[in-house]
Amino acid sequence: MNKIWLSSPHMGGAEQEFVQKAFETNWIAPLGPNVNGFEQDLESYLKDESKVACLASGTSALHIALILAGVKLHDEVICQSMTFSASANPIKYLGANPVFIDSEEDTWNMCPIALEESIKDRILKGNKPKAIIVVHLYGMPAKMDEISTIANKFQITLIEDAAEALGSTYKGKKCGTFGDYGILSFNGNKIITTSGGGALVCKNDVDKNKTIFLATQARDNAPHYQHSEIGYNYRMSNVLAGIGRGQMEVLDKHIQFRRGNNRFYKNLFKNCSGIKVFEEPSSSYYSNHWLSCILIDKEKTGFTTEDIRLQLDSDNIESRPLWKPMHLQPVFKDCDYYGESVSEDLFNNGICLPSGSNLTENDFERIATSIKKFL
Ligand SMILES: *Cc1c(COP(=O)(O)O)cnc(C)c1O
């Protein structure tokens, strides 16, 4: 029996043609028509006059977003605690310090109340945060009205980590377009992939051009190599951008499929008291359901997430606990944290289930059988 993965790459068909074009025209370098084409595709997809610069990864996009936000040594940056470590690591690349914020229960994302409390407290302590990193976890949009209002009120740069949320919307507006900067990821497990890649989303050509400048070693305008700033080698390659262009043709199909996965799990668990499938809190939220997740009430069910994980694993089906909050990670143990124990409880009681857009009827049957056997 093949392994059923949590989320694996799913090619649509047109990718190879774009890659082939790159070979035929010898545009193998990290610039060229596929990069420009992929950026244009993303700009028209995201709308709201978004500008997009394609980069080597979502992590590098966050690094550059923080540079554009002016983050420097010993600055503080507020970051959602419940997330993948890549949301927080770039803060450290700049010698700045993350301040972590708890989640709220509706979206599992940054709690606006804890966010405001933290900002007031940091200002009192004489160190006003330079930026806020909010994440749309598993494709679920965060409470962007509240969070944008707070960022505006205190005049703090807002960065949206939309690595998992391409195609998700909040009140009809695409995730990644709310903040001053947004980032996307095209890593192998994301809703579309270039095998590895990412993008920075911004509001104007000045920021876009500055991003491309920094991502291509910060070369000044001169015939020789002239540098007045530290640069990075963060641009996306033209070959990989070809995969991205092909993937854009199937993005909407992938979203519909993953939303179908969520309905499959809702149906599978509909009679299980003590198991809750993660879903949108209201019609303002539209999730791409990158990963479908469940919360288990140990008291009611008599089993834990680890029991389910081991059962699925014995049937060669991958599942994984929810992200372990950053304030509980050894590497960030000295960082400040605001909130209660929402993210910790989610981590202890939640698990991600197979959610790929390439699951077959047979895969769904195997997942259902494995879980029913267990229940
Ligand atoms: C995947 C991911 C990233 C990092 O993207 P890469 O392209 O892998 O560098 C950042 N934040 C979140 C929430 C992610 O899931």
Q: What digits encode the pLDDT tens for the residues 101-142?
A: 999 999 999 999 999 999 999 999 999 999 999 999 999 999
Q: Where are the domains of the chain?
A: 15-248, 251-374
Architecture field, domain 15-248: 3-Layer(aba) Sandwich (3.40)
* pLDDT in the model for residue 201: 98
What is the average pLDDT across 59-71? 98
Distance 58 CA to ligand 1 centre (A): 5
198 CA → ligand 1 middle, Å: 8
pLDDT confidence of residue 26: 86
| Atom 11 (ligand 1) nearest CA | 87
182: pLDDT confidence band, cut at 50, 70 and 90?
Answer: very high
- Rounded to the nearest whole angstrom, what is the distance from the C-alpha of residue 183 to the centroid of ligand 1? 9
pLDDT at 113: 98
For residue 344, name the pLDDT band (cuts at 50, 70, 90).
very high
Q: What HEC string does the chain produce? A: CCCECCCCCCCCCCHHHHHHHHHHCCCCCCCCHHHHHHHHHHHHHHCCCCEEEEECCHHHHHHHHHHHCCCCCCCEEEEECCCCHHHCHHHHHCCCEEEEECECCCCCCECHHHHHHHHHHHHHCCCCCCEEEEECHHHCCCCHHHHHHHHHHCCCEEEEECCCCCCCEECCEECCCCCCEEEEECCCCCCCCCCCCEEEEECCHHHHHHHHHHHECCCCCCCCCCCCCCCCECECCHHHHHHHHHHHCCHHHHHHHHHHHHHHHHHHCCCCCCEEECCCCCCCEECCCCCEEEEECHHHHCCCHHHHHHHHHHCCECCEECCCCHHHCHHHCCCEEECCCHHHHHHHHEEEECCCCCCCHHHHHHHHHHHHHHC
pLDDT band at 207 (very low <50, low <70, confident <90, very high): very high
Check pocket membership of 198 for ligand 1, CB cut-off 6 A: yes
Q: Residue 374 — pLDDT band, cuts 50, 70, 90?
A: confident
Average pLDDT, the chain: 96
CATH for 251-374, options being 3.90.1150.10, 3.40.630.30, 3.40.50.620, 1.10.3720.10: 3.90.1150.10
Residue of 87, 91, 108 best suited for mutating to test ligand 1, as the one with most atoms within 8 Å of CB: 87
Q: Where does the pLDDT of residue 292 fall: very low under 50, low under 70, confident under 90, or very high at 90 and above? A: very high
- What pLDDT score does 375 carry? 85
Give nearest CA residue, ligand 1 atom 5: 58
